Chains A and B, each alone.
Chain A
């Protein structure tokens, strides 16, 4: 049986209200209903990290959260965090070190990396690698990504 529900949430600072089916996961909701196609779908079983979003200040996998669970929450996507300039330092470092090639993993990488930046302390390369180990990239081999994050967190 399908019971559509109304949800209200704040996405990139804007309050939105939509009717969703319970089975719709958050990443599909953002992409299809709100047109926020910056976050990507890579596996839909929670392993690749391409759908990494921020919900109530914490990084989550958008494919492992139902849109209905995001009712009342604050959601940040790569578009919002770009426009607010929160990701600017990481984006600059990524750009200069070519820490992206096809770009499909990049929004997820940035959201996950920003999690480290917000902790406001230094990290070793090993710690950066461990933290980012939930985000799959096929193009870069990861080194440039680690270099870029290292530059931002360690200065």
Chain B
């Protein structure tokens, strides 16, 4: 399967991929390299006020009294408000969706009223002239609390002896069981049943730029402009409009430079809603930037799971069935508007992903706890599904004394089996598992590594090799959220405009947080129209300017936004040639656009510069035929329709050296083979994979939000919460396969989350591969030295 044939131009013309497939440097990186970007905290506004939130020190408590007297009199203070005051300007929300049957959650306010349900929940807002003054004043608030029992442990929560929201009857936010039927029979027929329980530590995104929002209400117009570090400006426009009572078109949300997001900034945060409400209330711009300690306590957490899994296998190595039971702990509220049921739902959908078994049972319980809220974070559910699948697969292979690569080869869905419906109900258009496995084993020189491992073992060195095959959800249709009633758009649009000087402006509803969205749109637009890339300017992240769309999430930017840009580019090209045809007196079919010129198709001779065409179309239309109107601004939209999710596949490998005396794991190398369809910019794909892999390594070895039994966050700072730094990370070797999707002309699938989805599994399998000869294994992430030493019985 070679590179995709990409028909960029009308039939009959020379096929030219233009910039597509080339590792072009990103134009918008230039300003970031000089510190000349525009993050929300960089913006300056007259009368800008700062808000700081007074937060609950308890995991669960009634707010008996809040005394603002001293705080209100502090220097620089503009207002001190409680939840009821803010509620007059912002209505509460309930984060449930219709397609998650039975999901329940109580209403949540922007600032808590009467009761705080997690340590860090905002219970009052202090607005002042400077942030420091607001913090000074917040320290003067006097509060009386009545502590309530805090539900912290997920098993305890499930038991329901103490119910957090009495009106709900239990602590279950969402439960689901998927059963193909025939599962018990399959287990009865198995030659071997292997089971294990895997634990996944709660962790969080740690975006270097804290959550940031600057809301600017214009009282005269009853309009609101919000500068927001967000992935989904249109979604936020809808939410600000509905909850603050401002007409939709009078709300403008602008996301300029965003300092990292990874899903953290695609959710609705009560403190951010409060900030917007305060701007309306106080009739002046108000800014909130979550500082690092607040971030740890209130940015969404994710991935706290305990999963039991069983695999039924024949002695040939054939997998007959998976049976999985997932318990996951969220916070006291489901998060708006995407719900906190999705992550667990994904685990049910994706367990066993790459394999061709037919029988499957997956059970899910999502329970409330009095810890911070959780919601979608890069690779949502995949890291858990892939780790539990690939972990139990390795265990089964070991039990059969079969090489793990060989075991996978016997079970991966064949490359010619598509389209394919998976036991959980998801449909695959076309994947390349076997091709990917072959490529990986070749890339890493698997045989040689196994040999090296054997030799090093004789010297007392414990190398481990771990594999992780995976599938990945990308380019979702409305099946993800829309069908459940969420006003989250799965369609996106691109407007392309030829400027008089021959430049092309691209306005697109998909957004940029550093992954390179604007760069690839420039590549696609330039290729589709026929201009050089430096003539293209891309604008994203402004609801007042771009078409309506979903923004960035679930790895949809390239596949969905890119296709909209491509179609608009082709349409603009056609419109330009209409004008050229009239100007030159030649048939449209004899003309082409290349390198900023109208050229004669056959001779390739330049006939008319685009800058000249622009001059004529905009300033001298009197020279064009009477009944002709040039339309040099075109808009096209795109929605993936055929498949609910466009699945991709990949496979990763990790090579580690475990120090069995200290329990320290040295990451020697990592490989990632990924099939994400048409690749627009290989360098950007590699960098998405690498960044994602390191985030996954963080989950596997370092990161966990640690709570005391009373629900106090113990390590909510950068010294105690361990994020991966450069000193310990391996080089990551990437390779690509391109199996384009036929749902679009571009054929691009998504790739932003793949690295994070597979890395934890690969590292876990590598550690266990290293420990196997010593009779030890680890199953609970993160794999700290403590956990490894205990597994080795050294402690």
Q: Which residues of A contact B (CB under 8 A)?
A: 21, 23-24, 31, 35-45, 47-48, 50, 77-79, 82, 87, 91, 94-98, 100-107, 110, 125, 129-130, 132-146
The verdict on A104 contacting B34 (CB below 8 Å), with A43-B718, A98-B29 known, is no
Partner of B33, one of A47, A77, A110, A129: A110
Q: How far is the CB of A99 from chain B (nearest CB, A)?
A: 9
Tell me, rounded to whole Å, the shortest Cβ–Cβ distance linking B688 to chain A.
8
Contact B727 A100 (CB under 8 A): no
Assembly CA distance A133 to B208 (angstroms): 15
Q: Is the CB of A78 within 8 A of B729?
A: no
A139-B209 in contact given A82-B34, A101-B687 (Cβ < 8 Å): no
Residue of B whose beta carbon sits closest to that of A77: B35
Residue of B35, B44, B514, B732 touching A139 (CB-CB under 8 A):
B514
Beta-carbon contacts under 8 Å, B671-716 to A:
683-684, 687, 690-695
Contacts of A47 in B (CB 8 A): 717-719
Assembly CA distance A21 to B133 (angstroms): 12
Q: B259 within 8 Å of A by Cβ?
A: yes
For B514, give its contact among A101, A135, A146 (CB under 8 Å). Answer: A101
Query: What is the CA–CA distance of A141 and B652 in the complex, to the nearest angstrom?
Result: 16
The smallest beta-carbon distance between B265 and chain A, in angstroms, is 11
Q: A136-B718, A138-B695 are in contact. Are A129 and B260 (CB under 8 A)?
A: no
User: Taking A79-B36, A98-B29, A139-B260 as contacts, is the C-beta distance between A104 and B717 under 8 angstroms?
Assistant: no
Given contacts A79-B36, A143-B731, contact A98 B719 (CB under 8 A): no
B30 close to A95 (CB less than 8 A): yes
**Chain B, range 395-409, C-beta contacts under 8 Å to A:** none
5 further contact pairs, Cβ within 8 A, besides A40-B259, A146-B726: A77-B35, A95-B25, A103-B37, A136-B723, A143-B731
Picked from B34, B683, B729, the residue with its CB within 8 Å of the CB of A79 is B34
B94 at the interface (CB under 8 A from A): no
Contact of B258 among A38, A102, A144, A145 (CB under 8 A): A102
Alpha-carbon distance A129/B717, docked complex (angstroms): 23
* Cα–Cα distance between A2 and B724 once the two chains are bound (Å): 39
8 A–B pairs (Cβ distance < 8 Å), ordered by A: A39-B35, A48-B292, A100-B33, A103-B29, A107-B35, A133-B725, A137-B208, A138-B208
A78 lies within 8 A of B34 (CB): yes
**A140 touching B257 by the CB < 8 A rule?**
no
Whole-angstrom distance between the alpha carbons of A100 and B687 in the complex?
Answer: 9
CB neighbours (8 Å) of A41 from chain B are 41
B208 touches A40 (CB 8 A): yes
Give the nearest-CB partner of B687 in chain A: A98
Q: How far is the CB of B29 from chain A (nearest CB, A)?
A: 5
A39-B35, A132-B726, A146-B726 in contact; A100/B29 too (CB < 8 A)?
yes
B258 / chain A contacts, CB cutoff of 8 Å: 102
Q: Which residue of B lies closest to A138 (CB)?
A: B260
CA distance A78 to B513 in the complex (A): 21
Which residue, of B39, B44, B726, B732, has the highest number of chain A Cβ atoms within 10 A?
B726
Shortest Cβ distance from residue A28 to the other chain B in the assembled complex, whole angstroms: 8
How far apart sit A91 and B514, CA to CA, in the bound complex (Å)? 16
A133→B39 contact, CB < 8 A: no
CB distance from B285 to the nearest CB of A (A): 15
- Measured CB to CB, the nearest residue on chain B to A39 is B35
Q: With the chains together, A15 CA to B174 CA distance in Å?
A: 61
Most chain A CB atoms below 10 A, which of B34, B683, B693, B731: B34
Contact A45 B292 (CB under 8 A): yes
Chain B contacts with A in 291-308, Cβ cutoff 8 A: 291-292
In the complex with contacts A103-B257, A135-B726, A45-B719 CB distance below 8 A: yes
Whether B284 is near chain A, meaning CB under 8 Å from some CB there, is no
- The interface residues of chain B lying within 8 Å CB-to-CB of A44 are 291-292
In the complex, per-residue mask of B713-746: 1 if CB is within 8 Å of any chain A CB, else 0: 0000111000111111101100000000000000
Contact A102 B257 (CB under 8 A): yes
CA distance A100 to B529 in the complex (A): 28
Across the interface, A103 reaches (CB within 8 A) one of B262, B514, B724, B755, namely B514
A71 to chain B, nearest CB (A): 20
> Does the CB pair A40–B29 fall under 8 Å?
no
Closest to B31 in A: A103
